[in-house]
A and B are shown apart, each in its own frame.
Chain A
Amino acid sequence: MSEYRIQGATGEWEVVIGLEVHAQVTSNAKLFSGAATAFGAEPNAQVSLVDAAMPGMLPVPNRECIRQAVRTGMAIDAQINKWSRFDRKNYFYADLPQGYQISQLYHPLVGEGALEIQLDEKDPTSTKTIGIERIHVEQDAGKLMHDQHPTMSYVDLNRSGVALMEIVSRPDMRSPAEAGAYLAKLRQILRYVGSCDGNMDQGSMRADVNVSVRKPGAEFGTRTETKNVNSVRFVMAVVEQEAKRQVALIEDGGTVVQETRLYDPDRNETRSMRSKEDAHDYRYFPDPDLLPLVLDDAFLEECRASLPELPDAKRQRYEAGLGLSPYNAAALTADVETARQFEALLASVAKAAGKGEADVAKRVANWLLSERPGILNAQNIPTDSPKNSIEANTAIVVATEAGTISGSKAKEIFERHLTSDIDLAAEIDSNKQTTDTGAIEAAVDAVLAANADKVEQYKGGKEALFGFFVGQTMKAMQGKGNPQAVNQVLKAKLG
């Protein structure tokens, strides 16, 4: 149960949220034509005769788009409808060449599913299941350009006909944080599955946010729908602003009208676009140019077999199988790309070190999550720099894991590798740390002799000086002394 409440003059209010997420399907071609879909092409460079709705043109479903939507449905444990159908949604607009959008109203491809969100990274019990009503596939529209001519608008049809998945949640969310977590989780799953790149700033993923308020436990209130919100942060802001607005409106004696609204991020407010009264009558009916979509078992099996390990399962495996902390497991699985890098480096390190993956996982995780990012950031080097190769990372981590070099030496050598041309193997070799007790004892003796006053203070109870002796010894040994061995010798000598 969410404790999120809006404090109104008449008491506490609860907010009810449902999201309709439009996710652009990752595919080379559009939903019903062979035209390309890449982002950023010149206007009208990716338009087929079908996309421009020339007379006599017909849609033919793109198998890959259907496949991606089915895989997405499987990833949220949803019912996959082996029989579905396309409907036409009729309305006139200059960015809609056919005069209708091909969508799925009556018989969507994917039915009921769910996904689990976790509200607090560090609290595994802070989970909630959000229901998903359906996923259907539909065509995107083109885009109007109003800034090209003083009196006319231009039309760019590059997006016209691009495949979208509309993922419709149940009204199961009760706070901005839940809405944000849901959208983030959905985006994470889509990116894992590879069915949508999740680039919200390029419009590949956007949400219509349905918000209503009610006194806790009362019937649902009238909802508004804020269209095309394109970041997790904005979705959370919309929920907050819209809930506050509705509460204020109701408490002022007004009523919430069912309407479509827009979010203005600059002013952090929503405003009315059109109300239900002037809503379109879309005259949905089955598209007679298309046969019902019938999926066979072989197709479904291939879809299922091609699904990757999903974030929740991966995270669990990292904790239970690799012994990582919940925090590290969550951080490594948050984004599919991070997980991919981790698993590649883990396999490489384990092989090179001749150990099991579980034996080296913690070190690889720490290297990736806390040590390496600091070095890359400090030197302003991108993750995909060729210098940051899996071979170099493997060499460094294996040497650290074997105790050949110290952790601080590892960072120092890696940094030099990134910024200059050094022979990494030779560098590691020449910085080998020593466990030779004789050499360490000699160094310790010299340090203690040179700092007799501090030895006195230490023996007098100032134990914090122990670190000073370690540092001096390491310095004297040019960082090559094995820290554990140095500690042991110092402890013995200082009594």
Chain B
Amino acid sequence: MTELTDLGVAAIRDGVAAGTFTATEVATAFNAAVVQAQDALNAFIVTTPDVALAAAAKVDADRAAGKPLGKMAGVPIGMKDLFATQGVQTTAASKILEGFKPEYESTVSQKLWDAGAGMLGKLNLDQFAMGSSNETSAFGNVVSPWRRPNDTAPLAPGGSSGGSSAAVAARLAPAATGTDTGGSIRQPAAFTGISGIKPTYGRCSRWGVVAFASSLDQAGPMARDVTDCAIMLEAMAGFDPKDSTSLDLPVPDWSAALSSDLRGKKVGIPREYRLDGMDADVARVWDEGIAWLKDAGAEVIDISLPHTKYALPTYYIIAPAEASSNLARYDGVRYGLRDLPQGAGLQDMYAATRAAGFGDEVKRRILIGTYVLSAGFYDAYYTQAQKVRTLIARDFSQAFEQVDVILAPTAPTAAFALGENSDDPLAMYLNDVFSVPASLAGLPAMSVPAGLDRNGLPLGLQVIGKAFDEQGVLNAGLAIEQRAAFTARPTRWW
């Protein structure tokens, strides 16, 4: 029998239900893997083995009692440390929230526990989900389980959901939650050879998720394959009256309707995504993806998304603007860090607390956001960016009159080495170039592993779908998955 930690969501759930193994055995195995990898990968900020075991024990007891089991029954998962978890430290990887234990549980995590999942721990991330390499965490960067051949240089697991991607790729968890504001599920999934889907904006409740940019933030699953993503998304999604932007739509049974038969479907290839000087491996894998989708029966059509080149600057105005306001609540008054120098007044306390509590990248974005919302600059930046955002969304809706899904690379390169981009914010921001447009348009988009680059590192392909059409995205993703036959995994060095 394969090791339990090699199993994914569906295999674990079905194995527990069939009595092949117990949920407790599964949780124990993953708890052990987490412990063994923690020093080397730093994927978790806190581990919660007892929480995982308690959830597993309940599933085992329910099964013994003949009670019905949930969609995720017996599956222990990692929880990105952006989701508030009751009684368990929730930090957004920032010093400003160190030691903060919420008295409430986020809607998405509660839904997962209600579906029978257990929590292995809180996963590391870029501070307040701001970053593409996990280097902005106040709790140390995550190290990717992947390495270049004959090279021990630590690589970035992607970001911001870098703890999630590293944990799933390293078999520390069968699946993990992620959040995606401009690519934070898809890019780390691509970097680590796993799958991840950002659903339509509003599918997953934002209630209890530490906010970065409210109009963009969206939770989603990260797992080994498309089927596991579909199952886990079913457990995470659903209308939540506590989130005004939540979609009041039923949650489809995506996993049951999965089909890689794309006959009659049209796939758009956006010409603006084919950049000058594009990485040759990325271009090759993209071409392979086109061939696979044709093989699955789809018709491939060249399309234009003319405002693509404005997506990145637009994103880097809107997201920091919202963040500068969303992060104002971390002021040292009610919870989290308070730095109160001797004799300090209120303004001094704010300054000292926020200077000590926020990392450099967070401060940079607060400054950018404050600037673009300032009197005299608001129209030139924020208003203009909102207009461009509308045009980008219109590009997509026009394209979707012709095609059912769009195929593009997830990221412009494979994983880079830690430190390689960390002194150059703009180079780092460029990592989001392919993922940001779908975020701005609120569309479902997923990354599936498609191949390896010349250094043996994973590359992902991105499928972007129509609003509410997660099924179309998952189906195209499945067609790629079946043809890519991606079986590579990091060699265990930790």
Q: Interface of A with B (CB < 8 Å)?
A: 49, 52-61, 88, 90, 92-94, 97-100, 153, 155, 281, 283-285, 287-291
Question: Is the CB–CB distance between A58 and B325 below 8 Å?
Answer: no
6 inter-chain pairs at a CB distance below 8 angstroms, sorted by A residue, are A55-B97, A60-B242, A94-B333, A94-B346, A97-B329, A98-B329
Q: Is the interface of B mostly helix, strand, loop or mixed?
A: loop
Hey, which chain B residues are within 8 Å of A58, CB to CB?
A: 206-207, 242-244
Q: Of B100, B207, B245, which contacts A291 at CB under 8 A?
A: B245
A-facing mask of B241-272, CB < 8 A → 1, else 0?
A: 11111000000000000000000000000000
B322 nearest CB neighbor, chain A only = A288
Stretch of B192-200, B209-217, B475-483 with 4 or more beta carbons under 8 angstroms from chain A: B209-217
Known: A99-B331, A281-B375, A288-B215. A56 touches B325 (CB 8 A): no
The smallest C-beta distance from A456 to any residue of chain B, in angstroms, reads: 91
Question: Is the CB–CB distance between A155 and B333 below 8 Å?
Answer: yes
A-facing mask of B98-118, CB < 8 A → 1, else 0?
A: 001011101000000000000
Distance, CA A291 to CA B245, complexed state (A): 6
Question: Is the CB–CB distance between B370 and A56 below 8 Å?
Answer: no
Q: Does B321 contact A (CB under 8 A)?
A: yes
Q: Of B206, B209, B334, B374, which contacts A53 at CB under 8 A?
A: B334
A-facing mask of B348-376, CB < 8 A → 1, else 0?
A: 00100000000000000000001001110
Hey, which chain A residues are within 8 Å of B242, CB to CB?
A: 58, 60
Known: A88-B325, A90-B328, A100-B325. A56 touches B215 (CB 8 A): no
Chain B residues 314 to 347 lying within 8 A of chain A, measured CB to CB, are 321-322, 324-325, 327-329, 331, 333-335, 346-347
Q: Of A53, A93, A153, A291, which contacts B329 at CB under 8 A?
A: A53
Distance, CA A99 to CA B214, complexed state (A): 15
Distance, CA A98 to CA B322, complexed state (A): 13
Hey, which chain A residues are within 8 Å of B160, CB to CB?
A: none
Question: Is the CB–CB distance between B244 and A55 below 8 Å?
Answer: no
Hey, which chain B residues are within 8 Å of A155, CB to CB?
A: 333-334
Q: Does B378 contact A (CB under 8 A)?
A: yes
Of the listed residues B83, B210, B242, B335, the one surrounded by the most CB atoms of chain A closer than 10 A to its CB is B242
Question: Is the CB–CB distance between B206 and A98 below 8 Å?
Answer: no
Question: Is the CB–CB distance between A60 and B209 below 8 Å?
Answer: no
Hey, which chain A residues are within 8 Å of B333, CB to CB?
A: 94, 97, 155
B213 nearest CB neighbor, chain A only = A288
Question: Is the CB–CB distance between B84 and A56 below 8 Å?
Answer: yes
Q: Of A59, A61, A153, A285, which contacts B325 at CB under 8 A?
A: A285
Known: A88-B325, A285-B373. A56 touches B335 (CB 8 A): no
Q: Does B73 contact A (CB under 8 A)?
A: no
Distance, CA A114 to CA B350, complexed state (A): 43
With A53-B334, A58-B242 given, name 13 new contacts (CB 8 A). Answer: A54-B102, A54-B334, A55-B84, A55-B210, A56-B102, A56-B211, A60-B241, A92-B347, A94-B333, A97-B333, A283-B370, A283-B373, A287-B214
Distance, CA A100 to CA B242, complexed state (A): 20
Distance, CA A457 to CA B349, complexed state (A): 94
Question: Is the CB–CB distance between A49 and B104 below 8 Å?
Answer: yes
Hey, which chain B residues are within 8 Å of A153, CB to CB?
A: 346
Chain B residues 66 to 121 lying within 8 A of chain A, measured CB to CB, are 83-84, 90, 92, 97, 100, 102-104, 106
Q: Does B382 contact A (CB under 8 A)?
A: yes
Question: Is the CB–CB distance between B373 and A289 below 8 Å?
Answer: no
**Interface residues contributed by chain B, number (CB under 8 Å):** 44
6 nearest CB pairs, A to B: A99-B328, A288-B214, A283-B373, A288-B215, A53-B329, A56-B208
Hey, which chain A residues are within 8 Å of B90, CB to CB?
A: 55
Hey, which chain A residues are within 8 Å of B210, CB to CB?
A: 55-56
Known: A285-B378, A289-B244, A291-B245. A56 touches B329 (CB 8 A): no
Chain B residues 175 to 219 lying within 8 A of chain A, measured CB to CB, are 206-211, 213-215
Hey, which chain B residues are within 8 Å of A291, CB to CB?
A: 244-245
A55 nearest CB neighbor, chain B only = B210
Q: Of B209, B244, B350, which contacts A92 at CB under 8 A?
A: B350
Question: Is the CB–CB distance between A54 and B325 below 8 Å?
Answer: no
Of the listed residues B92, B331, B335, the one surrounded by the most CB atoms of chain A closer than 10 A to its CB is B331
Hey, which chain B residues are within 8 Å of A288, CB to CB?
A: 213-215, 322
Distance, CA A55 to CA B331, complexed state (A): 12
Hey, which chain B residues are within 8 Å of A49, CB to CB?
A: 103-104
Hey, which chain A residues are within 8 Å of B374, CB to CB?
A: 281, 283
Question: Is the CB–CB distance between B206 and A52 below 8 Å?
Answer: no
Distance, CA A285 to CA B215, complexed state (A): 12
Distance, CA A289 to CA B215, complexed state (A): 7
Distance, CA A55 to CA B333, complexed state (A): 13
Hey, which chain B residues are within 8 Å of A56, CB to CB?
A: 83-84, 102, 106, 206-211
Q: Of A53, A55, A281, A289, which contacts B92 at CB under 8 A?
A: A55
Hey, which chain B residues are within 8 Å of A284, CB to CB?
A: 373, 378
A100 nearest CB neighbor, chain B only = B325
Distance, CA A290 to CA B243, complexed state (A): 8
Q: Of A53, A59, A98, A100, which contacts B244 at CB under 8 A?
A: A59
Question: Is the CB–CB distance between B373 and A90 below 8 Å?
Answer: yes
Hey, which chain A residues are within 8 Å of B327, CB to CB?
A: 99
B241 nearest CB neighbor, chain A only = A60
Hey, which chain B residues are within 8 Å of A289, CB to CB?
A: 206, 211, 214, 244-245
A281 nearest CB neighbor, chain B only = B375
The smallest C-beta distance from B204 to any residue of chain A, in angstroms, reads: 13
Of the listed residues A58, A61, A97, the one surrounded by the most CB atoms of chain B closer than 10 A to its CB is A58
Distance, CA A289 to CA B322, complexed state (A): 10
Hey, which chain A residues are within 8 Å of B328, CB to CB?
A: 90, 92, 98-100
Distance, CA A290 to CA B213, complexed state (A): 13
The smallest C-beta distance from B134 to any residue of chain A, in angstroms, reads: 20
Question: Is the CB–CB distance between A61 and B244 below 8 Å?
Answer: yes
The smallest C-beta distance from A320 to any residue of chain B, in angstroms, reads: 48
Question: Is the CB–CB distance between A290 and B207 below 8 Å?
Answer: no
Distance, CA A54 to CA B335, complexed state (A): 8
Distance, CA A317 to CA B106, complexed state (A): 57
Distance, CA A92 to CA B245, complexed state (A): 26
Distance, CA A281 to CA B377, complexed state (A): 11
Distance, CA A289 to CA B211, complexed state (A): 10
Question: Is the CB–CB distance between A99 and B373 below 8 Å?
Answer: no
Hey, which chain B residues are within 8 Å of A285, CB to CB?
A: 321, 325, 373, 378, 382
Hey, which chain A residues are within 8 Å of B347, CB to CB?
A: 92
B374 nearest CB neighbor, chain A only = A281
Of the listed residues A49, A52, A289, the one surrounded by the most CB atoms of chain B closer than 10 A to its CB is A289
Chain B residues 212 to 240 lying within 8 A of chain A, measured CB to CB, are 213-215
Hey, which chain B residues are within 8 Å of A94, CB to CB?
A: 331, 333, 346
Hey, which chain A residues are within 8 Å of B103, CB to CB?
A: 49
The smallest C-beta distance from A258 to any residue of chain B, in angstroms, reads: 15
Distance, CA A92 to CA B23, complexed state (A): 49
Distance, CA A100 to CA B330, complexed state (A): 12
Distance, CA A289 to CA B241, complexed state (A): 13
A144 nearest CB neighbor, chain B only = B346
Question: Is the CB–CB distance between B373 and A92 below 8 Å?
Answer: no
A50 nearest CB neighbor, chain B only = B242
The smallest C-beta distance from A11 to any residue of chain B, in angstroms, reads: 38
Distance, CA A153 to CA B333, complexed state (A): 11
Question: Is the CB–CB distance between A99 and B325 below 8 Å?
Answer: yes
A-facing mask of B445-476, CB < 8 A → 1, else 0?
A: 00000000000000000000000000000000
Distance, CA A39 to CA B388, complexed state (A): 46
A280 nearest CB neighbor, chain B only = B375
A53 nearest CB neighbor, chain B only = B329
Hey, which chain B residues are within 8 Å of A97, CB to CB?
A: 329, 333-334
Hey, which chain A residues are within 8 Å of B83, CB to CB?
A: 56
B217 nearest CB neighbor, chain A only = A288
The smallest C-beta distance from A483 to any residue of chain B, in angstroms, reads: 69
A-facing mask of B275-295, CB < 8 A → 1, else 0?
A: 000000000000000000000
Hey, which chain B residues are within 8 Å of A98, CB to CB?
A: 328-329
Question: Is the CB–CB distance between A60 and B244 below 8 Å?
Answer: yes
Hey, which chain A residues are within 8 Å of B378, CB to CB?
A: 283-285
Hey, which chain A residues are within 8 Å of B244, CB to CB?
A: 58-61, 289-291
Question: Is the CB–CB distance between B92 and A92 below 8 Å?
Answer: no
